[in-house]
Amino acid sequence: MIDSNHDIQIIKTENSRIAQVDFSQLSFGEIFSDHMYQVEYRDHEWQQPEIHPFGDITISPSTSILHYGQAVFEGLKAFRYKDGKINIFRARDHFNRFNRSCKRVSIPEISEELFIDGLYALVDLDRDWVPKEKYKSLYIRPFVFATDKFLGVRASRTYKFMILTGPVGNYYKNGLKPVSLTTMPDFVRAVKGGVGNAKVPGNYAASIYPAELAKEQGYTQILWLDACEKKFIEEVGTMNIFFMIDDVLITPALSGSILEGITRKTVLEVAIGMGYTTEERAISIDEVISASKKGTLQEAFGTGTAAVISPVGFIHHEEKEIVINNREIGPVVKKIYNHITGLHHGDVADTNNWCHVF
Ligand SMILES: *Cc1c(COP(=O)(O)O)cnc(C)c1O
């Protein structure tokens, strides 16, 4: 069956897998919707966009991505409103960041039409896959990778851009639970001038081993410090981080080695709208420890699309240990979380034009 929609060539599946999915038991990243979107780049341009049934792809063992890692990805979500409509959250911001990441690793930029219209068409086609329950969502994974069959080190001349989607549950099965962190001064996530501010797979590869060590020591995530002085806080795991100190909401400024999170931006904008004072600036681990001693460290939390917000209850750094808000969820984090999830599901009015609802 072939029909066309916005010039996208669509081949629909004749065997939907949706009846086999238990939407009450969703985890993260295991189940994929019926279709996937793809566009190839060759002869200096992006080609005809296509939607196919989700399935394996074959590549040569000499494919460039397998050897030198030239690739970029994004992660965003679609949510269900009570009236059945679907909301794709801040897609344009994810598209813009995707192209900024591509530029850093010499991948040709993709047009808004190919990225956004393709994404909307794919989600619309598989709209039944968007979970109906609040806090559940359809995770959307756009990505691009180098496809030249060539072992020389240079920018590939061919690429494949794809979008996968799949239903995911609430990241925290038992609600928001504060996590415990440790710094890892022997390892760094990223360095200014490197690729820390681009969403590229290599950043994740580099963080897995230290994250395993942190887990073995009993911590949930790593609190990453800057690579040069091992003094300033950068991110937590694969999330951005916020501290509420003396009634000021502080997040590290985008220094070049920090990923410019869309949730980070949302939290800043929502907090300002609620009347909180916010600061984007360098914040050292020593400042956090001394605020804790003084009793002015009120809350801490990580932000990212997958979990939305993740409260921090405990930080270990060298010989010091600090407990934040009695390891409980604080009022600020709760208020911001409720506001953002309200925006997701249409319970809070979208005054910023962040939502694409259809
Ligand atoms: C994706 C990502 C984030 C969070 O970004 P969001 O746009 O909020 O999802 C933070 N840090 C790193 C390293 C990331 O890769």
Question: Residue 85: pLDDT above 50?
Answer: yes
Q: Taking the CB of residue 108, how many other CB atoms lie within 10 A of it?
A: 17
Question: Residue 174: pLDDT above 80?
Answer: no
pTM above 0.85, yes or no: yes
Work out the pLDDT band at 171, boundaries 50, 70, 90.
confident
244/279 Cα distance (integer angstroms): 10
The response to whether residue 238 sits with its C-beta less than 6 Å from ligand 1 reads yes
Distance (Å) from CA 187 to ligand 1 centroid? 19
The response to whether residue 239 sits with its C-beta less than 6 Å from ligand 1 reads yes
Report the DSSP beta bridge partners of residue 51.
10, 37
126/124 Cα distance (integer angstroms): 5
The least confident of 29-33, 93-97, 172-176, 284-288 is: 172-176
The response to whether residue 261 sits with its C-beta less than 6 Å from ligand 1 reads yes
Contact 295, 301 (CB under 8 A): no
Average pLDDT over the chain reads: 95
Distance (Å) from CA 194 to ligand 1 centroid? 16
Distance (Å) from CA 286 to ligand 1 centroid? 24
The response to whether residue 199 sits with its C-beta less than 6 Å from ligand 1 reads yes
Q: Which residue has the CA at smallest separation from atom 5 of ligand 1?
A: 261
Distance (Å) from CA 91 to ligand 1 centroid? 14
The response to whether residue 72 sits with its C-beta less than 6 Å from ligand 1 reads no
Residue 322: in which H helix or E strand, if any?
A: strand 320-323
257/340 Cα distance (integer angstroms): 26
Distance (Å) from CA 238 to ligand 1 centroid? 6
Stretch 187-213: mean pLDDT? 96
Closest C-alpha to 87, from 76, 96, 98:
76
Contact 201, 73 (CB under 8 A): yes
The least confident of 76-80, 94-98, 168-172 is: 168-172
Rg of the chain in Å (alpha carbons): 21
307/264 Cα distance (integer angstroms): 12
The response to whether residue 304 sits with its C-beta less than 6 Å from ligand 1 reads yes
Q: Which domains does the chain have, with CATH numbers?
A: 4-169 (3.30.470.10), 179-344 (3.20.10.10)
Q: What are the angstrom distances between the C-alpha of 126 and each of 73, 86, 167, 317? A: 21, 11, 10, 46
Q: What pLDDT does residue 3 have?
A: 45
The response to whether residue 305 sits with its C-beta less than 6 Å from ligand 1 reads yes
Question: How far is residue 60 CA from its own chain's centroid?
Answer: 29
- 177-193 per-position pLDDT tens digit: 899 999 998 999 999 99
